[in-house]
Structure 1
Amino acid sequence: MTKICSLWLLLLLCFPQIPDAREKDPEARMDATLSAAQKAQEKVEAFLQEEERQRQAIRALEAEVEALIYENHMLEKRMARQQERLLALEGEGEEAAGLARLVEPLLGDLLTFLEKRMEGLVPFRLEERKGRLQTLRSALEDGEMDTQSRFRRALEVVEAELNLGLFPDAAAATVAVEGEMLHGTLLHLGAAGLFFLSPDKALVARWSGERGLFLPLDATAARSVERAFAMVERRVPAGLIWLTLPEVP
């Protein structure tokens, strides 16, 4: 009895508009039944389509949940790695601070040494050299500059000083020769010394470190120095010069 009632309810749901068999002829009843069956089929298909859409939406949500879980996992790994880097940087910072405490006083001593050393060297390109020392001093006094940058500046100054006189070099200058201020050209020949040549080439002098002044050379030495000047200024082809110079105290 229960099964019959359920079947009857299902028929009522699927075929709600089946007309009374006593009201119409068999052909009309058949058309009405087919129409009702078609509508019922459309409802079933609509229900199935809706169910499929919901399943697809659920699958999309599940995929999004999996992606979020993976992303969260990767973020946790990145955060852990960044934390490790921060700890390493803190250790490096402490090590760098300790190194800076050792290096900074040495840079100050180096600056003092270079200033005293410059007083005993030949007076060649003094303005440039003093300017580099002043730049280094400013770097050491600059609270915003780190130790690495200060050390780099110090290396630049030391390199420039070591290269002084390594190759022949000429520069315009005003010097005192026998108590007279003269404009001319200085020629640095390294170990051979520092020489001065007047514009009219009438005077050639050599620097005396002990006496702290330029002393004129004799005619023979002056001609050799003049030729060296011409080679450095590329007015004549480079060649070998035999430069015989007297001892300059």
Structure 2
Amino acid sequence: MKNQRLKAVALSTVLSAGALMGSVAQADQTLDAILKVGQTKTTVAQESQKRIDRLAQETDDLVQQFKHQNRLIADLRMYNSQLEKQVAAQTQVLQELEGSVDQVTVIERQIQPLIVRMLDGLEQFVKLDKPFRLSERNERLEMLRANQDRADISVSEKFRQVLEAYKIESEYGRFLDTYNDTLSIDGQDREVSVLQVGRLALIYQTSDANTAGVWDATQNQWVSLDGSYRTAILKGFRIARKQVSLDTIVVPVQAPEAAR
């Protein structure tokens, strides 16, 4: 009997231990499941936070892009406004230029006949003036005449050239000058030196210094000078050639006609 009770107790203990072990195993499984659920929730929460952070960054980027685009639009509006002002100003300038072109056209039509009259007057002046540097002066007149028919020279340039010719003619009257020339003396062509005293006197002297003459405007020809002027003429040539300093010289000057 005693042995039977011991067996019963032992069996009961074994069964209890087995049940307990089964409960512990089940509890472990439940705990594992709970831990897995918690870990899953944590992972999901982390992923959600990442998505939230990413969406927040994208939203911030979009906001910044929107602000940037707004600034660009404002700048473009300001630029367009400035361009409109510039276009308006340029349009005004073009209108003024068109008016100026019309005025220039009218002025050119008026200047062209004036140039021709000025050339006619200059040519007549050279013919009536003392015959100094005639080749040079006549060539200048021929060049100016030829330029009037050239389309590649503007009217303003043609006018400037004529004014320059007038200036050169004016300067002739203020200088003491000398040059070599060929003159017809007593029916023979002679190589001479010419002394130009402004427009007061025009004197020639042969290379041997034995013959001298002066232009007589009243007779419109050269007339001989006697030997009394020889020293003065030589001195004049030396001054003109800058061989000596400026000094007073005596030259034959035609007296003006008495007033009637």
TM-score (norm. length: structure 1): 0.81
CA drift at 1:26: 5.0
SS at match of 2:215: strand
The residue aligned with 2:138 is: 130
Q: Deviations over 1:140-170 (max 9, x none)?
A: 2223433322221121111111111211112
The counterpart of 2:216, out of the listed 193, 199, 208, is: 208
Q: In structure 1, how many angstroms separate the alpha carbons of the residues matched to 2:227 and 2:129? A: 26
Residue 242 (1) aligns with residue 242 (2): no
CA drift at 1:29: 4.5
Q: In structure 1, how many angstroms separate the alpha carbons of the residues matched to 2:43 and 2:34? A: 14
Residue 187 (1) aligns with residue 175 (2): no
The counterpart of 1:81, out of the listed 64, 68, 89, is: 89
Matches within 5 A, 1:4-19: none
The residue aligned with 2:109 is: 101
The counterpart of 1:60, out of the listed 57, 63, 68, is: 68
CA drift at 1:23: 7.3
What letter matches 2:87 in structure 1? M
Residue 199 (1) aligns with residue 207 (2): yes
What letter matches 2:86 in structure 1? R
What letter matches 1:57 in structure 2? Q
- Which consecutive unaligned segments of at least 5 residues does structure 1 have? 1-20
What letter matches 1:80 in structure 2? A
Contact preservation (8 Å) 2:130, 2:199: no
Matches within 5 A, 1:23-34: 24=32, 26-34=34-42
Contact preservation (8 Å) 1:170, 1:232: yes
Are residues 246 and 124 of structure 1, via their aligned partners in 2, closer, same or farther at CA, if it must alter by over 3 Å? closer
Number of residue pairs the alignment of both structures matches = 229
The residue aligned with 2:158 is: 150
68-77 or 210-219: bigger deviation: 210-219
52-61 or 139-148: bigger deviation: 139-148
The residue aligned with 1:139 is: 147
SS at match of 1:122: coil
- RMSD over equivalenced CA pairs, Å: 2.5
176-185 or 220-229: bigger deviation: 176-185
The residue aligned with 2:177 is: 169
Contact preservation (8 Å) 1:205, 1:217: yes
Q: Deviations over 1:168-205 (max 9, x none)?
A: 11222111222221123222102431111222322222
What is the percent sequence identity of the aligned residues? 23
